[in-house]
Amino acid sequence: MKRWSPGIAAMALALALSAAEPLRAGSGEPPLPPGQDPGGVALALIDSGINYTLPHIAKRLARDPQGRLLGFDFADGDRLPYDVVPGRKAAVAIHHGTAVASIVIAEAPRVRLIPYRFHPKRYEAFAQIVEHIARGPARIAAMPLGGYRKGDWEAFRRAAEAHPEILFIFSAGNDGRDIDREPVYPASFGIPNAIVVTSSDAFGRIAPGSNWGRRSVDISTPGEQIPTRDHLGAFKTASGSSFAVPRIAALAARLKAAHPDWKPQRLKSEILKLAVPSPGERQPRTAHGWLPNPALAGPAIQ
């Protein structure tokens, strides 16, 4: 089956396309289904948005007392972060966030999601997303994307480090390279309140096409052929470090639910303690090893 791993690649493509295609604020997003906040651990998702009309997602959306989403669309400037990678026409859109969100919900069914849609022309908007998250209830943020130019991400780095109360989960990327030598960002920054994740196969080997780094990447976990649901709600599988991220984010949410007093550094430490040496690698290619199955680690899925 074809490998689906658009995280960093999709981000780069969106940036390139946006130069030729202007953004259209409020470009016909569907209305938000009515609902109430479901309760549970809040988790922010920084991605292409989500299809919030799908029933399995709509019922897990964090909402204010008026039933409005707590997230934001930084591409369109509204409160409806609908899942289309910014800069692409609807007919050829890359949908990424819905598949990521579906994995989070499957492995942390009591989570409540706060979705954010990035802006393809303004890297500083990523720092604004961090500030928006900090004003809300989420203390875990999944970010399965990134880029290659360090300077583009400095504002985000400063914002993330200024909010140590938030634990970020970053993808290592899908370029098949050592990001200690050829960095990608924000994964290669070494942000203290972050976990960098890459994809492995079921035997602990770094997946073909996924990045690694003995210093830059904290752990690997199976991210190949992961069951999920696409933008239309159809069941499918997805592969790549982008889909390892929601597995670790879901584990963090379950641990946070069981231990509400744990701060990000404790949460990070406990997750990394669950990693073991990879049986599939002759030499370590991550800092802390391999987490064989996040769904079976920590508190049970309920």
**Interval 112-156: pLDDT, tens:** 999 999 998 889 999 999 999 999 999 999 999 999 999 999 999
Contacts made by residues 62-67, CB under 8 angstroms, sequence distance 24+: 62/37, 62/38, 62/112, 62/113, 62/114, 62/136, 62/137, 62/138, 63/35, 63/36, 63/37, 64/37, 65/37, 67/32, 67/34, 67/35, 67/36
Distance of CA 207 to the CA centre of its chain: 18
Query: Token digits for 52?
Result: 């919030």
* Average pLDDT over all residues of the chain: 90
Nearest CA to 129 out of 142, 117, 145 is that of 117
Is the pLDDT score of 92 beyond 50? no
Other Cβ atoms closer than 10 A to 41: 22
- The per-residue pLDDT for range 45-87, each reduced to its tens digit, is 999 999 999 999 999 999 999 999 999 999 999 999 998 755 5
Angle, CA of 166, 120 and 124, to the nearest 5°: 50
pLDDT, tens digit (0-9, with 9 covering 90-100), for 13-49: 344 334 333 334 445 789 999 999 999 999 999 999 9
Report d(CA 49, CA 100) in Å as an integer: 10
User: Tokens at residue 268, please?
Assistant: 């990070």
264 φ, ψ (degrees, to nearest 5)? -55, -40
Alpha-carbon distance of 301 to 291, in angstroms, equals 16
Q: Show me where the domains of the chain are located.
A: 7-19+35-296
Task: Give the tokens for residue 223.
Answer: 């991210």
Does the structure show a pLDDT above 90 at 5? no
Residue showing tokens 């508190």: 299
Report the C-alpha gap between 276 and 263 in whole angstroms.
23
Q: Which residues is 196 bridged to in the sheet?
A: 170
Q: What Å distances lie between residue 146 and 16, 188, 209, 284, CA to CA?
A: 14, 10, 16, 24
Tens digits of per-residue pLDDT, 194-249? 999 999 999 999 999 999 999 999 999 999 999 999 988 999 999 999 999 999 99
Crossing angle of helices 124-134 and 154-161, in 10° steps, is 20
Crossing angle (nearest 10°) for helices 97-107 and 245-258: 40
Q: How confident is the model at residue 11 (pLDDT cuts 50, 70, 90)?
A: low
Q: What is the pTM of this model?
A: 0.90
Assigned CATH for 7-19+35-296? 3.40.50.200
